[in-house]
Structure 1
Amino acid sequence: MRKEVQQYVQAKPILQKFIREQPRWYRQLARQPGDLQSFELAALHYYQQTIPHKVEKITSTLEMASFMLHILRSMRQND
């Protein structure tokens, strides 16, 4: 693997972890260093760190909080 690609991967812990779990990317980057952007995108998808994943997680959290608030209000009204 090229030195600059190796340094880029070592600078980001999430990429280091991903390349250890998915060794095919090590071979892929050694053969085609230009696939670095695809590698990083694959890592973000694998760990669900893309913007749509984050929005979905926030939405889910807000829905749960809203549900809990609704339950608390209904409990107060029953007392």
Structure 2
Amino acid sequence: MRPSIQAYLDEHPDEKLFIRMNPEWYRRLSRSPWALRDLKPAADYFYGRTFSQKLDRFNQRAAMMSMLVSMAQAMTEQKQEEH
């Protein structure tokens, strides 16, 4: 692998770990170093840092909070009916 790519990976430890976990990227960068521009989007997708993945997580959390609020309301209504 080219020294410039190694220096880039030393500056970006998340992407370096991504390459260690996905050895096909090591081969890809060794054979075509210009593919470095494709590394960040692939690593972001792997780590769940894309906008759509963040939006999905937000929607899941919002749904969970809504469910918890509705459960709390149902419990308070049930307690009020008992008294």
TM-score (norm 1): 0.88
1:62 maps to which residue?
62
Specify the structure having the higher radius of gyration (Cα).
Answer: 2
Please give the alpha-carbon distance, in whole angstroms, between the structure 1 residues aligned to 2:51 and 2:71: 30
1:48 maps to which residue?
48
Report the residue type matching 1:38 in the other structure. D
**Aligned pairs for 1:17-28 within 5 A:** 17-28=17-28
Structure 1, unpaired ranges of 5+: none
- Structure 1 segments, 4+ long, off by >4 Å, are none
TM-score (norm 2): 0.85
Name the % identity. Answer: 30
- Larger deviation, residues 18-27 vs 39-48: 39-48
Q: Which has the higher contact order (CA 8 A, sep 6+)?
A: 1
Structure 2, unpaired ranges of 5+: none
- Larger deviation, residues 64-73 vs 36-45: 36-45
Please give the alpha-carbon distance, in whole angstroms, between the structure 1 residues aligned to 2:19 and 2:6: 11
SS of 1:52 mapped into structure 2: helix
